[in-house]
Structure 1
Amino acid sequence: MALLEVKNLDVRFAVRGGDLQALRKISFSLDKGERLGLVGESGAGKSVAAFSILNLIARPGYIAGGEILFEGKNLAAMSDRELRKIRGNRIAMIFQDPMMTLNPVLSIGTQMVEAIKAHRRISTKAARDIALDRLKQVQIPSPEKRLDQYPHELSGGMRQRVIIAIALLLDPEIIIADEPTTALDVTIQAEIMALLLELCEQRNVALMLITHDLGVVSQVTQRMLVMYAGRIIEQGPTKEIINDAQHPYTQGLINALPQMGEPGRRLFQIPGAMPSLAKIPTGCPFHPRCQFATDLCKQEMPEYVTSGNVDVACHEVRKLIEEEKQQREMTS
């Protein structure tokens, strides 16, 4: 049994004129110690999927259907009191901006000690010792000094290391990292991702990494999900998808990477933009931007088809697979 299993998750936002569907029956799983990447442009639904796991969707958003099974128990059906035992304890989350996560008027040590004591019956001294140990693990210089400092006294990279240390305080089984290096410069980003990967491997912690950076996903994760307009359109082993992407959208994301361009030529970009939730196209939501779109793509939502070890939601991929099958039968 998977450590985390999401089944047909449907998330909506209640607004005037009717509900807007942010997630459209997405399903995926995460095993113990596995590293999973969620990829897509802004507005694809990556962060909504992550927040839904711990039922952190703010009103008017709500989970309209599906299950989120953690060790077989449905998190979507739990009360706030039951979820508080899971949040930050067994499933930890690293948010995009550490300054929005850390309380500016409390010292680092106070915040870490409070996080521990919220879940464990433990003395303040013992909690402080654990906090100091975690700061050492994330390689913060002068960790004893940092415990008594405030967030504004630390650099962006050090604040993000503190956030990772807080996520590790209670030895969680899963860490959800939502764009954990967005606000950092490139060299610090690489350091933080290498640190997070090393800590997860040492502790056998499952990692769900939400990002738009395919380069990071290719280096860190074992499996990946590609999301578009609230739906998973391709999922499977990371190396297999990066080396031979099946869906036109995934191919476009890979071709848009700077290293894929030729010197002196304009970088490739996918034409158009992600549709708003209020104006999701009929059929395949990607069809207005797809060079391979047919009338069928405009009329019917594609079902998943398996290509190798990858599941893809694309009419053209299904057509190619069926044609190859017919050719093999004719030649055999």
Structure 2
Amino acid sequence: MALLEVSHLDVRFALRQGEVRALRDVSFTLDRGERLGIVGESGAGKSVAAFTILNLIAKPGYIAGGSILFEGRDLTRLKPRALQNIRGNQISMIFQDPMMTLNPVLTVGEQMIECLKAHRRIRSREAREIALNKLRQVYIPSPEKRLDQYPHELSGGMRQRIIIAIALLLDPDIIVADEPTTALDVTIQAEIMSLLLELCEKHNVALILITHDLGVVSQVTQRTLVMYAGRVIEQGPTREIINDAQHPYTQGLINALPQMASPGSRLNQIPGAMPPLAKTPPGCAFHPRCGFSTDAAGQRRRDCREDVPAFVTSGNCHVACHMVRELVERDPVEPGEAS
């Protein structure tokens, strides 16, 4: 049994102008110690998926359907007290901006000790020793000094290391990292991702990494989900998706990487923009931007315009695309041929 199993998750926001579906039929699993990446443009639903796992969706948002099974328990049906025992204790989250996460009027040590006392019956001295140990694990220099400092006295990279240390305080089974390097410069980003990978491997912690950066995903994760307009449109082994993307949207994301353009030429880009969730087009949501959705006469294919594509297996990946389905049905892979 998978450590985490998300099945047919449907999240909606009840707005004055009508109900908006932020997640549509999202399903995936996560095994113990596995590293999973969720990628897509802004508005794809990545962060909503991350927040929903811990049931942190604020009103007017709500879970309209589906299940989130953690060690066999459905998190969508737990009472607040039971869910509070899981948050931070068994499933931790790293947010985008450490300055928004850390309390500016409490020292680092006060915040770490408070977190430990919220979940364990422990003395302050023992809690401080655990906090010091975690700071050492994330390579914070002079940890004794840092415990008595306030967040504003630390650099951005140092603050993010402290957030990671707090996430590891209670030895969780899963860490959900929501774009943990967004506010950092490139060199610090690489250090933080390398640290996160090292800690997950060392402690056998499962990781869900939310990002728009396919370069980071290729270096850190073992399996990848690609999201578009609230749906998962491709999922499979990270190496296979990076080397041989099947969905036109995934191909567009990879082609848009700076290293894919010739020196001195314009960067590649996907035409158009992600549709607003309130105005998601029928059929395949990507079809207005997809170069493969037009027929020989230049008209949009009817199935792309009208029918939501079902998942089809291509190699070791699952892809929701009418074009891929036709290719697979025309030239099926014999058993044993898929790598």
Fold match (TM-score > 0.5) = yes
Aligned to 1:247: 247
Distance 2:302 2:263 in 1: 37
Partner in structure 2 of residue 301 of structure 1 = 308
Tell which deviates more after alignment, 180-189 or 16-25. 16-25
Q: Secondary structure at the match of 1:170?
A: coil
In 2: Cα distance, 1:83 partner to 1:299 partner: 40
Within-5 A mapping of 1:19-58: 19-58=19-58
Moved more, 9-18 or 152-161: 9-18
Counterpart for residue 116 of structure 1:
116
What is the aligned partner in structure 2 of residue 8 from structure 1?
8
Are the counterparts in 1 of residues 310 and 321 from structure 2 also a CA contact under 8 Å?
yes
1:257-268 → structure 2 map (5 Å cutoff): 257-268=257-268
Secondary structure in structure 2 of the residue aligned to 1:85: helix
Structure 1 position 165 matched with structure 2 position 165: yes
Structure 1 runs of 4+ with >4 Å offset: none
Aligned to 1:231: 231
In the alignment, structure 1 segments of 5+ residues that lack a partner are 328-332
1:203 maps to a residue whose letter is: H
Question: What residue in structure 2 maps to residue 316 of structure 1?
Answer: 323
**Residue 185, structure 1, aligned to residue 180, structure 2:** no
> Which amino acid in the other structure matches residue 115 of structure 1?
C
CA contact (8 A) 2:315 2:333 kept: no
* TM norm structure 1: 0.98
CA distances 1:63-119 after superposition (whole Å, capped 9, x unpaired): 000000000000011111111000010000000000000000000000000000000
Partners in 2 of 1:4 and 1:190 — Cα distance? 28
Offset at residue 232 of structure 1 (A):
0.1
1:135 match: 135
Distance 1:138 1:233 in 2: 35
Structure 2 length normalisation: TM-score?
0.96
**2:150 paired residue number:** 150
* Distance in 2 separating the partners of 1:103 and 1:80: 23
Deviations 1:7-63 (A, max 9, x none): 000000001132100000100000000000000000000000000000000110000
- CA change 1:197–1:272 in 2 (3 A) is same
Output the CA distance in 2 between the equivalents of 1:323 and 1:211. Answer: 34
Q: CA offset at residue 326 of structure 1?
A: 10
Letter in 2 for 1:164: I
User: Secondary structure at 2:110's aligned position in 1?
Assistant: helix
Report the alpha carbon displacement of residue 325 of structure 1 after superposing the two structures with TM: 3.3
Partners in 1 of 2:332 and 2:175 — Cα distance? Answer: 41
Deviation at 1:149, TM superposition (A): 0.2
Whether the 8 Å contact between 2:99 and 2:151 is mirrored in structure 1 is: yes
Q: Share of identical aligned residues, percent?
A: 75
Q: Which residue of 1 aligns with 2:283?
A: 283
SS at match of 1:118: helix
Whether the 8 Å contact between 2:284 and 2:308 is mirrored in structure 1 is yes
SS at match of 2:192: helix
d(CA) in 2 for partners of 1:79, 1:48:
20
**Counterparts in 2 of 1:103 and 1:79: CA distance versus 1, 3 Å:** same
SS at 1:282 equivalent: coil
CA distance in 2, matches of 1:321, 1:84: 45
Q: Which residue of 1 aligns with 2:296?
A: none
Report the more deviating stretch, 36-45 or 289-298. Answer: 289-298
Deviation, structure 1 residue 295: 2.0
Distance 2:22 2:99 in 1: 27
Q: State the 1:136 CA deviation.
A: 0.5
Residue 325 of structure 1 aligns to a residue whose secondary structure is: coil
Task: Provide closer, same or farther for how the CA distance between residues 239 and 119 of structure 1 changes in structure 2, counting only shifts above 3 A.
Answer: same
Deviation at 1:296, TM superposition (A): 1.1
One-letter identity of the residue aligned with 1:127: A
Task: Indicate the RMSD between aligned Cα atoms, in angstroms.
Answer: 1.2
Tell me if structure 1 keeps the 8 A contact 2:34–2:205: yes
Distance 1:118 1:97 in 2: 23
Once residues 221 and 242 of structure 2 are traced to their aligned partners in structure 1, the CA distance between those partners, rounded to angstroms, is 11
Partner of 2:92: 92
- The gaps in structure 2 that reach 5 residues or longer are 294-300, 335-339
